[in-house]
Amino acid sequence: MSMLRGGLIQMSLKGSTDQSPEEIRQAMIEAHLPYIEEAGKKGVQVLCFQEVFTQPYFCPSQDAKWYAAAEKIPDGPTTQLMCELAAKHKMVIVVPIYEEDITGVYYNTAAVIDADGTYLGKYRKTHIPQVAGFWEKFFFKPGASNWPVFETQYCKLGVYICYDRHFPEGWRALALNGAEYIVNPSATVAGVSEYIWKLEQPASAVANGCYIGAINRVGREQPWDIGEFYGQSYFVNPRGVIEKEASRDQDELIVHDMDMALVREARNNWQFFRDRRPSTYDRLTDGN
């Protein structure tokens, strides 16, 4: 298949952080349902939501209240609902949620569901920040997913989550494992990150000869108000060209047709994979 129709949904928080995680989850699911329906009607083949899409970005706090937001994958309610919707719309869905492995062990995870509703597996965020406003180590254990690439009905799909995008090694590992399209669900605010939002992922698309779908949330979230989540979700092609971009401040579904023939063309043209010298890269893996 040469053309792949992708969809990205960006959204502001629904409800109040004073509510319980379950009440917020219900509100966020309800807000997403019309956009999922729209994606189905528009023939989207691969749909992705923003990072921890059922909740606020609660990491400015260090409040154990939010542990209650974690769900089992695949047996929890959100993943099960998305399996039903994927089958209904014949659409691959990437579902980024807060995952409970066992009580006290939690991950920032994305479940991947095939177009027939089959749960294919998950990716757990590998790189976990611990800086002012982003106290993620309080909430998330680092994942070690071994860079899975999911053989969906429509494409070979990889997932990289938010802060992961600053680390080129993971993009390369996903591409070497066969990923043609990689999604990066995020929660990132204006300031230092905004300038590089449109640099890093286009550069990674070029370096790895793949399409990338970058998703951010929108709005401001109280009481933390660490800044404006500036939206601008986008699709970028293997030449580093941003082909379609969402607004800065609106709840939105963007739909775009990706010419997957560009993946082979770009990789054959640049030959970055052929010219790698992994035997000289010991410094990258010596642990220091």
State pLDDT tens for residues 168-209.
Answer: 999 999 999 999 999 999 999 999 899 999 999 999 999 999
Query: Which tokens in the block code for residue 78?
Result: 């959100």
Active-site annotation holder among 122, 162, 210, 221: 162
51: annotated active-site residue:
yes
Structure tokens at 20: 């319980």
- Helix, strand, coil in percent for the chain, rounding step 5: 30, 25, 40
Contact 229, 57 (CB under 8 A): yes
Sign of the CA dihedral 43, 46, 49, 54? positive
Tally the residues of the chain: 288
- State the pLDDT at residue 234: 98
Write down the domain spans for the chain: 3-276
Q: Which of 14, 71, 99, 125 does the annotation list as catalytic?
A: 125
Q: Is 41 a catalytic residue?
A: no
d(CA 46, CA 243): 16
Joined tokens for residue 216:
């951010």
Token couple for 132 = 């002012």
125 is known as an active-site residue: yes
* Global pTM exceeds 0.75: yes
Question: Which CATH number among 1.10.3720.10, 3.30.365.10, 3.60.110.10, 3.40.630.30 corresponds to the domain 3-276?
Answer: 3.60.110.10
CA–CA distance, 186 with 135 (Å, rounded to integer):
15
Of 51, 100, 200, 221, catalytic: 51
Cα(35)–Cα(254) distance, integer angstroms: 10
Query: Which ranges of the chain have pLDDT less than 70?
Result: 1
CB 142 within 8 A of CB 164: no
Distance CA 90, CA 152 (A): 11
**What pLDDT, on the 0 to 100 scale, is given for residue 288?**
74
Q: How many helices (H) does the chain have, and how many strands (E)?
A: 5, 16
The structure tokens listed for 258 are: 């990706």
How many whole angstroms separate alpha carbon 136 and alpha carbon 60?
A: 8
Written as six digits, the tokens of 169 are 């090694």
Q: Residue 24's closest CA among 10, 14, 34?
A: 14
Instruction: Specify the amino acid at residue 210.
Output: C
So what's the pLDDT on residue 1? 64
Per-residue tokens: 154? 């429509």
* Helical ranges in the chain per DSSP H: 21-41, 77-89, 168-176, 192-208, 261-270
Residue with tokens 């580093």: 240
Q: Residue 143 gets which letter from DSSP?
A: P
| pLDDT computed for residue 287 by the predictor | 79
